[in-house]
Structures are given as structure tokens and as C-alpha cells.
């Protein structure tokens, strides 16, 4: 069975600090996708990134960067120069194919609550 | 562009009452649709998914049910709510093939008293 572990349940930083959110996954699939979502206080999950299992290049988008390490089954997320607006719960997720092979099901980690203080 | 709607945004219901939550998607055809529940302070639990009209798969046995009467409409129901049904219910959609990301609606916060 697939599993996603986000060991950090809560992180608190001061604005402008860099912060890394850890994500470790388990899967028997050779082809899979990894995702990060942000859940601000409003509750809606906002899609941040998708990464496939064949692409281990790190990705940077503004202050966000992602480090995919297949050898350690990790997909960590770093926020550089954090801001108060980054305060949210962040979820890492792993996809597997639905039984009828027509779509995908996401297995979510437990989430990491990030609090950025001014 | 695609949008996903959920209503109501919040709901307070007594134990034993029925439930109907609605989700609609605009701007795409034949999406996969999903219902998740998020208990307070916890992660997301997949409840149901649907790959087409009238096709519903349940991931967790419970007193909830789902229906998909139209291509872009997904309904979550219960005949009798339990206290344990309280939570934040999220609807999501994804494209029908491959390992595509899911896009989430604004959610419904349900409190059962």
C-alpha cells in the first residue's frame, strides 16, 4: 500500500527565515506522481506542484523550491524568505492508479502546519 | 477555465438528520470526481470517487453515500447523520486519464450536534 509521511506536524518560523517541509513516501509503483498542496485558513486546497517519478530535477518557482530524491523516497519543499502569507497547512501527496485505470487516487500525508510570525 | 463549486459553505445539523452536499464543476467534460473528508486537525480521507455518470466507488464503509446524476455534478448524502460525521468535506476533480493533479473546491464545514 502507498503511504506518505510528513513527520513535522507543526513548524514555526520568523518572517524571512527559510523553511523546509519534509515528505517521505512509500510505493511499489515504478511510475507515480508526487504533489504538494497548500491549505490556507480558508480551507480550500491549492495545488502547488506535480512531479513525476522519472524527473528528479529540482524545481524552483519564485520563493518555492522542491527537492525530489528518488534514492531516499523524499520530496521536500523549501520556502525561501518566508512571509506571513505562507502560513498554512501543507500537504504532500502521492498518486496511484484507480482500479479501473481511468484516473488517479491521491494518498495524502498528514500535513505540516507552518506558522510564519512577523 | 475550470471552476468547482460546493454548497453550502457551512452546515449545522442535528444527529439523525439527513444530509445533502452538492458539488459542480464547470469548464471541463467527463472529469473524475472525488469526495474527501478532513477531520479537525487531521489529514484528508478519500470517501468516494467517480469516473463517470452513475459510477461511484467507495473507499471507506460508512453511513454516507454519493451519487453522480450528471457529468459534472457530484452529491454526498446521508440518511441519518452521526456525531462522527462532523468535519470539512472537500470535493475535487481531475482529468480522466493519467496521473493528473486534483483541483479542490472551497469545502463544506459540517457540524453535527
- A43/B92 CB distance under 8 A: no
Using the predicted structure, report yes or no on whether residue B98 has a pLDDT greater than 80. Answer: no
Please compute the mean of the pLDDT values over residues B37-45 and round it to a whole number.
84
Q: Is the predicted pLDDT of residue A99 greater than 90, yes or no?
A: no
pLDDT digits (tens, 9 = 90+) for A42-94: 899 999 999 988 888 888 889 999 999 999 999 999 999 999 999 999 999 99
Q: What is the pLDDT, as a whole number, of residue A56?
A: 82
Return the pLDDT at B78: 96
A62 touches chain B (CB under 8 A): no
Predicted confidence at residue A59, as pLDDT, reads 86
Nearest-by-Cβ selection for B32 from A33, A103, A108: A103
* Chain A environment of B101 (Cβ under 8 Å): 33, 35, 47, 50
For residues A104 and A105, the model is more confident at: A105
Q: How far A113 CA sits from the closest chain B CA (Å)?
A: 9
Q: How many residues does chain A have?
A: 118
Minimum-distance CB partner of A44 among B43, B51, B107: B107
Least CB-CB distance to B94: which of A43, A97, A103? A103
| Chain B residues touching A35 at Cβ < 8 A | 101
Separation in Å, CA of A27 to nearest CA in chain B: 14
Amino acid at each position: 500500500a502507498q503511504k506518505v509521511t510528513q513527520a513535522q506536524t507543526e513548524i514555526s518560523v520568523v518572517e524571512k527565515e527559510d523553511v523546509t517541509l519534509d515528505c517521505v513516501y512509500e510505493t511499489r509503483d515504478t511510475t507515480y506522481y508526487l504533489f504538494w498542496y497548500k491549505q490556507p485558513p480558508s480551507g480550500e486546497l491549492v495545488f502547488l506542484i506535480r512531479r513525476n517519478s522519472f524527473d528528479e530535477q529540482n524545481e524552483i518557482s519564485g520563493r518555492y523550491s522542491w527537492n525530489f530524491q528518488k534514492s531516499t523516497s523524499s520530496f521536500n519543499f523549501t520556502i525561501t524568505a518566508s512571509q506571513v502569507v505562507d502560513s498554512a497547512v501543507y500537504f504532500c501527496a502521492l498518486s496511484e492508479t484507480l482500479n479501473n485505470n481511468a484516473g488517479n487516487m491521491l494518498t495524502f500525508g498528514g500535513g505540516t502546519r507552518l506558522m510564519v510570525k512577523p | 477555465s475550470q471552476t468547482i463549486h460546493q454548497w453550502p459553505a457551512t452546515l449545522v445539523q442535528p444527529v439523525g438528520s439527513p444530509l445533502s452536499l452538492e458539488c459542480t464543476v464547470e469548464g471541463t467534460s467527463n472529469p473524475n470526481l472525488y469526495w474527501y473528508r478532513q477531520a479537525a486537525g487531521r489529514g484528508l480521507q478519500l470517501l468516494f470517487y467517480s469516473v463517470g455518470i452513475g459510477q461511484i466507488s467507495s473507499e471507506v464503509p460508512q453511513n454516507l453515500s454519493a451519487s453522480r446524476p450528471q457529468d459534472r455534478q457530484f452529491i454526498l448524502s446521508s440518511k441519518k447523520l452521526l456525531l462522527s460525521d462532523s468535519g470539512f468535506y472537500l470535493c475535487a476533480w481531475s482529468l480522466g486519464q493519467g496521473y493528473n493533479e486534483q483541483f479542490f473546491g472551497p469545502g463544506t464545514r459540517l457540524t453535527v450536534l
